[in-house]
Amino acid sequence: MADDGDGGVAWLGIDLGTQSVRALVVAGDGTVLGGGSAPLTGRREGVRHEQDPGEWWEAVCTASRSALARLPGVRIGGLAVCGTSGTVLLTDGSGRPVSPALMYDDGRAAGEAARVRAAGLSAQDTWALPKALWLIETYGQGQTYGRGQTYGRGQTYGQGKTYARGRITHQPDVIVARLTGEVPPADSSHALKTGYDLESKAWPYAMSAELGLLDGLLPDVVPPGTRLGEVCPTAAEATGIPVGTPVIAGMTDGCAAQIASGALRHGAWNSVLGTTLVLKGASSTPVRDPTGVVYNHRAPDGTWLPGGASSVGAGVLTAAFGRADPEAMDRRAAAFEPSGVVAYPLVSPGERFPFLAPDATALLLGEPAGDADLWAGLLQGVAYTERLCLDYLHHLGAPLDGPLTFTGGAARSRYWNQLRADILGRPARVPQQTEPALGMAVLAAYGTETPRHLHLADVAERMVRTRTVLEPRPGRTAAFAEPYARLLDELTARGWLPAPVAAHARARLDRDTAGS
């Protein structure tokens, strides 16, 4: 069984985020014993978004050393690593990068995505499989990678060397290879957006061959929670993680955040609000969506984790207001409920959930009375999108009658949390610790010392602590019904939101967004 925190055993979770790497050391009772972080940089130009994979290892070394620096007598029982969903690169036979990493929202593979869909596979333009095809065409078919570019600790890859092909690799696999000294299999959670079938537990090899994916390009796949190996001496010296620490197969950052929220029982949902918005739920069966907007991960205990990722999120606040003080703006925004504007605040062009519209752009209906009114409109617009996501899930028949949890960086805003509960018309829990790294510590505990008759939810409920429970304020949900309906009308008129979905959402306006 996972240790209760009294025996000196703890678990390490590592989160490879967009802007930083975060490491947390967590005891079996959920006490955070240590933490560390290190920044990451990236390159954004239009639809292009890539990172240098060498930076990931540098940042992991810094973050893990900081997290473990002052923990004498604590034994690390295991570790797990999560990464951004859909981030992909090519590596050589030893696991070294031979291409840049195309990040989760890189949009250069739209043509390849069309080919994937024509071959009969579900794929959005930013999913890993289309981007893997783009990388193979660009770097893997006798093309030169590097040209003297330097990655990581001064190591230079490329130098005019030609690679006939590379292995399709997901973000955490690069780190696991460095930790264990061996090229690992992929976990099925990260492999999902590369085309892996979670129900048949196999790659669609016939369709893959039609797309030109040769033998050896696709990695072996194991379920999350599988033991992949142990920390090798070289990695231990670099990271401070003890030699022999078990390394457990992780999940995507969205799933990691869901584990950290404890939303793992049937009908429970976690809303992760950071730069963008991700909703992840738990179900005993997959939630079927013929459009591919909602897709299903699978937990290591066999339960299903349906969800989707929107391009709406808190990133619009940074873009619109720069370094404004969020708490001060929240206080001013409270005077505008509802705001004089109705917003669909996309962080970047194109929408993926609660509808699929590659041509969608941010919209703002009306003129704000000032900065505070605009701030309020953006906060409310994100919450309207969150409500529409739940309405769409209800339209698909997803179970919604369990608890709702708020996590992500925006969950630090008390005002926004309350506003979201008001607009959604349902209670919400906010955990003490909302980081995906905590979810990976939970998964590490599950994968190392948990009897198989227990579910992942059993371990999470021991290690996840609730900070507060929010109740919607009386009368506030009704106050936001008119602007929400106005947004539904506008999204439908623009051809982005299907009319049946809009009609379903309108029919639920006089109810809350729970299971009714």
DSSP secondary structure string for all residues of 376-418: HHHHHHHHHHHHHHHHHHHHHT----S-EEEESGGGG-HHHHH
What does the pLDDT read at residue 150? 32
Check whether 422 has a pLDDT greater than 90: yes
pLDDT of 163 over the 50 cut: no
Is residue 411 predicted with pLDDT exceeding 50?
yes
Rounded Cα distance between 125 and 114, Å, is 8
Lowest mean pLDDT among 332-336, 339-343, 474-478: 474-478
Say what percent of the chain tops pLDDT 70: 91
Helical axes 326-333 vs 371-396, angle rounded to 10°:
80
What is the chain's mean pLDDT, rounded?
90
CA distances from 396 to 73, 119, 202, 379 (A): 50, 25, 26, 26
pLDDT value of residue 7: 57
How many CB atoms are located within 10 Å of the residue 237 CB?
11
pLDDT of residue 158: 34
- Span 358-387, pLDDT tens digits: 999 999 999 999 999 999 999 999 999 999
**Shortest CA distance to 61 belongs to which of 25, 14, 19, 98?**
14
Residue 153 has pLDDT above 50, yes or no: no
The reported pLDDT for the residue numbered 474 is 92
Residue range 470-499: mean pLDDT, rounded: 97
When pLDDT is averaged across residues 134-147 and rounded to a whole number, the result is: 65
Which residues are 186's β-sheet partners?
221
pLDDT value, residue 383: 98
Is the per-residue pLDDT at 337 higher than 90? yes
Q: Is the pLDDT of residue 143 over 50?
A: no
pLDDT attached to residue 367? 97
pLDDT digits (tens, 9 = 90+) for 55-77: 999 999 999 999 999 898 899 99
Burial of 504 (0-12, 13-18, 19+ CB in 10 A): middle
155 falls in which pLDDT band (50, 70, 90)? Answer: very low
The DSSP symbol for 293 reads S
Q: What is the pLDDT of residues 25-56, one digit of tens each?
A: 999 999 999 999 999 999 999 899 999 999 99
Given this model, what pLDDT does residue 323 score? 86
Which pLDDT band, with edges at 50, 70 and 90, does 165 fall under?
low
pLDDT at 159 over 90: no
Q: Which residue has the higher pLDDT, 410 or 1?
A: 410
Q: Give the global pTM.
A: 0.84
Strand 227-230 and strand 221-222: the pairing is unpaired
Q: Helix axis angle, 371-396 relative to 481-493, nearest 10°?
A: 70
Higher pLDDT, 185 or 151: 185
Cα separation of 140 and 315, whole Å? Answer: 34
Report residue 151's pLDDT band, with 50, 70 and 90 as the boundaries. Answer: very low
Q: Which candidate, 294, 298, 221, places its Cα nearest to that of 456?
A: 298
Residue 180 CA to its chain's centroid (Å): 24
Segment 293-299 mean pLDDT: 93
Work out the percent of the chain whose per-residue pLDDT is above 90. 79
Q: Sketch out the chain's domains with CATH numbers.
A: 9-248 (3.30.420.40), 266-431+466-507 (3.30.420.40)
The stretch 416-425 carries a mean pLDDT of: 98
**276 Cβ contact list (under 8 Å, min separation 6):** 309, 310, 311, 312, 313, 315, 347
Q: Which residue has the higher pLDDT, 275 or 223?
A: 223
Query: Quick one: average pLDDT of 483-512?
Result: 94
